[in-house]
Amino acid sequence: MKDIRIAVIGHGFMGHEHEKMLKDFPGIRLMGFSDKDPKQLQDVAEGLKRYQSNEEIFEDPEVDVVLIAANNNQHHDLVIQAAKAGKNIICEKPAAMSLQELDEMVKAVGENGVKFTIHHQRRFDPDFRTAKEVYDSGTLGAVYAVKSQLYGFNGNMHDWHVFVSEGGGMLYDWGVHLLDQLCWMFPGAKIRSVFADLRNVINKEVDDYFQIMLRFDNDVTATVELGTYYLSDKTQDKWFERHWFVAGNKGSAYVDGFFPEGKVVRTTHLLTNVGGKRTMTAAGPTRSFGPAPEGTIVTEALPEIHTEHRNYFENYVRAYHGEEDFLVKIPEVRRVLRLMDAVRESARTSRSIDFE
Ligand SMILES: NC(=O)c1ccc[n+]([C@@H]2O[C@H](COP(=O)([O-])OP(=O)(O)OC[C@H]3O[C@@H](n4cnc5c(N)ncnc54)[C@H](O)[C@@H]3O)[C@@H](O)[C@H]2O)c1
């Protein structure tokens, strides 16, 4: 099968990540990069093209796919231009800054008969896949709560991410990944309602904190919390924290870190009414929060998960050749954008929003 020839627009942070990933990727030939800032092309690796403009990519008959890794506010126009040039497209997340933008992009893609998908490689994050595997295994019984949390400790929001006009803010940046993961975790489940708090804690223009509660019709309430400004004196290897918590009526699981550590903690039988022995703690006497009777709780290792971001492009290669579906489908992407609109509306009105 012929290699898929991919050229990338944007050689910034993500452009460099794509260069590392795709330089020697089976089934893919990385052609080169364009960037509106010529300085950004100076360190493009030997052997790759430095396109002088995006148009040069669109006109290059050797390019099969354009991968768009430019700022969020560029995705709409670049996708439409690439589609009109007959190029297949992978676009970085968030696909678009609004539903209207996405719909216009999809129209252009449809009119020109090109392939279009979005780079949501975080569906392969091992922490997420571990939490999903625990949920799917049924080992926790009827799951009622899932928490997905990400905290940064240094207050860092940088470059264009602090400007609304550029598509800045944490909802577009990380929120889209975290919501996409939760939607994908429960296939077929509808989201009945959304309640959210979305704040500019220190940034003038854009959100830098959010807490979002999604009530799914599979009886799970999922909470997503992200904070960029939880200042802390943690040491260098602890610039952030990532946590999952999954709770069911037979046990719970905690999954900590991107390469997770944690445990499944289960009961040997439902503990609806255990003898309320009085326990003295530093905070005073307790019965509800005392230790469980011996033998009623067991701990187990988390399942071992071996996913990685390159799996996204492995799927891309197979799907491009028609061997399977693209992992990331546009209706899923549209749903997450709608969800982000509901998040904003809930935060603005302080009300829960009916969703599906
Ligand atoms: N999937 C992920 O995990 C992930 C991670 C980080 C960023 N991203 C996404 O990647 C995209 C780029 O983010 P980044 O962090 O690399 O930003 P960045 O600022 O580091 O890089 C963007 C680059 O695009 C160039 N650019 C902007 N407009 C352009 C245009 N019209 N034509 C050509 N070049 C243009 C800029 O000069 C810059 O070099 C964003 O959409 C972002 O959301 C995705």
Taking only the tens place, the pLDDT of each residue in 206-215 is 999 999 999 9
DSSP 8-state symbol, 171: I
Q: How far is ligand 1, taken at its centre, from the CA of residue 109, in Å?
A: 21
279 band by pLDDT with thresholds 50, 70 and 90:
confident
Query: And the tokens for 77?
Result: 């126009």
User: What pLDDT, on a 0 to 100 scale, did the predictor assign at position 214?
Assistant: 98
Atom of ligand 1 nearest to the CA of 121: 1
Q: Are 302 and 255 in contact (CB under 8 A)?
A: yes
Determine if ligand 1 sits within 6 Å of the CB of residue 180. no
Residue 245 has pLDDT above 90, yes or no: yes
User: What pLDDT, on a 0 to 100 scale, did the predictor assign at position 236?
Assistant: 58
175 band by pLDDT with thresholds 50, 70 and 90:
very high
Alpha carbons 289 and 31: distance in angstroms, whole number = 61
Query: Taking Cα atoms as reference points, which of 53, 112, 104, 102 lies closest to residue 82?
Result: 112
Residue 156 has pLDDT above 90, yes or no: no
The residue whose C-alpha atom lies closest to atom 31 belonging to ligand 1 is 74
Torsion sign, CA atoms 54, 55, 60, 61: positive
Q: How far is ligand 1, taken at its centre, from the CA of residue 245, in Å?
A: 32
CA 339 from centroid of its chain's CA atoms: 13
Cα angle value 322/327/328 (rounded, 5°)? 120
Least confident of 257-261, 284-288, 335-339: 284-288
User: What pLDDT, on a 0 to 100 scale, did the predictor assign at position 180?
Assistant: 98
Q: Three-class SS string for 237-251?
A: CCCEEEEEEEEECCE
For the segment 206-231, the average pLDDT, to the nearest whole number, is: 95
Residues 6+ apart with CB under 8 A from 319: 117, 325, 326, 327
Choose between 348 and 159: higher pLDDT.
348
For the segment 175-190, the average pLDDT, to the nearest whole number, is: 98
| Average pLDDT taken over every residue of the chain | 94
The H-or-E segment that residue 278 falls in is none
SS3 198: strand
Residue 238 has pLDDT above 90, yes or no: no
Atom of ligand 1 nearest to the CA of 15: 16
CA dist list (Å): 149 to 87, 213, 232, 238, 337: 37, 12, 16, 15, 20
Least confident of 86-90, 107-111, 117-121, 275-279: 275-279
Alpha carbons 133 and 137: distance in angstroms, whole number = 6
Determine if ligand 1 sits within 6 Å of the CB of residue 139. no
Residues 6+ apart with CB under 8 A from 327: 117, 120, 123, 312, 315, 316, 319
Query: And the tokens for 236?
Result: 């260098």
The 10s digit of each residue's pLDDT in 299-317 is: 999 999 999 999 999 999 9
Determine if ligand 1 sits within 6 Å of the CB of residue 10. yes
Alpha carbons 92 and 76: distance in angstroms, whole number = 11
Residue 289 has pLDDT above 90, yes or no: no
Atom of ligand 1 nearest to the CA of 16: 16
Residue 288 has pLDDT above 90, yes or no: no
Which of 9, 14, 56 gets mutated to test ligand 1 (max ligand atoms within 8 A of its CB)? Answer: 14
- Is-above-0.85 flag for pTM? yes
237 band by pLDDT with thresholds 50, 70 and 90:
low
Q: How far is ligand 1, taken at its centre, from the CA of residue 44, in Å?
A: 15
For the segment 160-182, the average pLDDT, to the nearest whole number, is: 96
For the segment 241-270, the average pLDDT, to the nearest whole number, is: 93
